[in-house]
Amino acid sequence: MPHLVILYTPQLDAELNMTTLCRQMADAMCSVNDEDGKPVFPTGGVRVLAYPAAHYAVADGGAAGHASGQFAENPNGGSGDYAFVYLNVRMGRGRSEATQQRAGETLTEVAKAFFAPAMAQRHIGITLQIDVGPEVFDAKYSNIHPLFNKA
């Protein structure tokens, strides 16, 4: 159940390719290993989904950014409002704290590299959180996993 859901303010769609971010994050998830060198996330279970927020408000709406003189004119248009990205990873129980930390650090580095060019042009807040069970109910039905379970 390694799912990563990305919620973001919609002005980023004009500035960044969020599909590219999804692919980079999925690849990063597939690259994380535990202390024994085994993949943390089963390849067939990795899911990364990104959604622009239909409605949002961030901080003071950009007033402090405008007052500071930084990025006063957004070269990509838009209101100059701050952008925000929330990345939430859900993983099942059973992984060590060190493994969870390694996964978080790996994904954070990918996000920082992806957003660096945009952060040079505008104010963006980025939050990445990892949530671990406990699941009350967890059913899975897929014909994807067998593609990766060949011995």
Instruction: Please count the structural domains in the chain.
Output: 1
Cis peptide, bond prior to residue 39, ω within 30 of zero:
no
CB 82 within 8 A of CB 119: no
Question: One digit per residue, pLDDT tens: the chain, 151 residues?
Answer: 679 999 999 999 999 999 999 999 999 999 999 999 999 999 999 999 999 999 998 888 777 877 777 655 544 444 568 899 999 999 888 899 999 999 999 999 999 999 999 999 889 999 999 999 877 777 777 777 777 776 5
Residue 149 lies in a domain: no
What pLDDT does 93 receive? 87
Residue 109's domain comprises 3-136
Give the pLDDT score at 34: 92
Q: What's the CA gap between 123 and 104, in Å, rounded?
A: 22
pLDDT on residue 78? 44
**Residue 42 CB neighbours (<10 A):** 16
Give pTM, 2 decimals: 0.84
In a domain, 100, yes or no: yes
pLDDT given for residue 71 in this prediction: 59
Domain assignment of residue 63, yes or no: yes
Domain harbouring 47, CATH code: 3.30.429.10
